[in-house]
Amino acid sequence: LGWWDRVSPASKDPITGVTEAFLADTNPHKINLGVGAYRDDEGKPVVLQCVRNAEAKIAGCDFMESNATAVGSKLVEESVKLAYGKDANVVKEGTLAGLQALSGTGACRLFAEFQRRFHPESPIYFPDPTWPNHPNIWRDAQVPVRTFQYYHPVSKGLNFAALMDDIKNAPDASFFLLHPCAHNPTGVDPTAEQWREISYQFKVKSHFPFFDVAYQGFASGDLDMDAQAIRIFLEDGHLIGCAQSFAKNMGLYGHRVGCLSVLCADAKQAVAVKSQLQQIARAMYSNPPIHGLLLVSTILSDPETKALWVKEVKVMANRIQQMRSTLRESLEKLASPLNWEHITKQVGMFCFSGLTADQVDRLVREFHIYLTRDGRMSMAGVTTSNVSYLANAIHEVTR
């Protein structure tokens, strides 16, 4: 029997494709602006010192004896403080249903499944554009997916009026996925004042805000500042959901450490919600591996290691901001006729450059510079030694 005869190859993930092409290129000037992973000024991946210290602290720890549930609880306890604020009442009141998750993707998937079980008819709205895996995740969970307007291609900033219209025009009590900071792929975030207006309108419409926090610290360099959107919604009395990832801000990509939290009406509801989330996770993968959980909970709960992490996050964010300024200045020095203000106005890991697909193709073909065809550049791939080569290349393909 030809069991799998009807199976044809799945379409390639756009980012994986970029990485493969970059690796296959032997040109010494090649630059990878595809993947959203932090690199130092030498273009090398970084193991944070706080992670090394945590490794040393847990070395020799008896994993066979480790209680996954206890480690998970500690991780959740510390993660929610980061998102909602260490002194937030909700952290103390027991109204948060939280669960360790397989990084940000796993937290999203868990929530999507939970959403479908209890609100099978409700769609989820994603910003246009968004991280391309968002629609995949919710579609696989059988949730209807929609988009709301977000980015303005001419200003290369936020299309706030259109965003507000779409929030108003969505059916009452819809789910909305929001990037609280360092929006992927655009690097465009609402201001605090705009978040207040969004939060107000969510109240009017009884929408549910689901925050996907994949880059906390990367927008401003400050973890609390980057959580301001969540804190504003909290102040306004919303019930919220939150997916947190430690892949980027702790450089723990492969360890898959994350947290899903759902803010409930009271402690009793939180117990029920958590038990449902646990049941969903149990049937899919039981528990996440414990090593990464231990690393993150150790960093977050040891004051000295946490302070070091806070500093290291700032260093990473500052380096990226520095590269934004240098790239913009270099393009201006080349007398580029185009406006490059958005390079420094946008925040976080990415710059939505405005380069067309044809211009990107030329960057790849003629300059060995790799990025996705939507023009998204991972600023983490830019270094002191490649920034002028990059500026020249961008200037060549846009003049």
155 vs 152: CA distance, rounded Å: 6
Residue with tokens 């996954």, as numbered in its chain: 68
Q: Is 195 a catalytic residue?
A: no
Identify the CA nearest to 256 among candidates 108, 70, 44, 84: 108
**On the CB side of 326, how many CA atoms lie within 13 Å of its CA?**
17
100 binds ligand PLP (CB under 6 A): no
399 vs 392: CA distance, rounded Å: 10
Indicate the residue among 149 and 388 with the shorter CB distance to ligand PLP.
149
Q: How far is CA 266 from the centre of its chain?
A: 28
Greatest C-alpha distance within the chain: 66
Q: Which two tokens stand for residue 78?
A: 């510390």
- Under 8 Å between Cβ of 34 and 363: no
Sole binder of ligand PLP in the list 32, 53, 95, 105 (CB under 6 A): 105
Sole binder of ligand PLP in the list 113, 189, 212, 312 (CB under 6 A): 212
9 vs 283: CA distance, rounded Å: 27
- Under 8 Å between Cβ of 294 and 56: no
Query: Can you name the residues that pair with 213 across neighbouring β-strands?
Result: 244
Q: Which of 166, 189, 212, 226 is catalytic?
A: 212
What x-and-dash track marks residues 351-390 binding ligand PLP by CB under 6 A? ----------------------------------------
Q: Is 212 a catalytic residue?
A: yes
292 binds ligand PLP (CB under 6 A): no
Sole binder of ligand PLP in the list 214, 234, 317, 387 (CB under 6 A): 214
Indicate the residue among 205 and 373 with the shorter CB distance to ligand PLP.
373
Site size for ligand PLP, by CB under 6 A? 12
Quote the least distance from Cβ 214 to ligand PLP, whole Å.
Answer: 4
Q: Is 168 a catalytic residue?
A: no
Quote the least distance from Cβ 256 to ligand PLP, whole Å.
Answer: 7
Instruction: Tell me the window of 84-92, 99-107, 138-146, 331-339 that interacts with ligand PLP (CB under 6 A).
Output: 99-107
Instruction: Tell me the window of 101-109, 203-211, 296-304, 315-323 that interacts with ligand PLP (CB under 6 A).
Output: 101-109
- Under 8 Å between Cβ of 99 and 278: yes
Quote the least distance from Cβ 1 to ligand PLP, whole Å.
Answer: 37
Instruction: Tell me the window of 97-105, 139-147, 261-269, 326-334 that interacts with ligand PLP (CB under 6 A).
Output: 97-105
Tell the burial category of 26 from Cβ atoms under 10 Å away from its Cβ (0-12, 13-18, 19+). Answer: exposed
187 vs 39: CA distance, rounded Å: 18
The residues annotated as belonging to the active site are 131, 212, 248
Question: Which residues of this chain interact with ligand PLP, rule CB under 6 A?
Answer: 36, 103-105, 131, 179, 184, 212, 214, 245, 247, 258
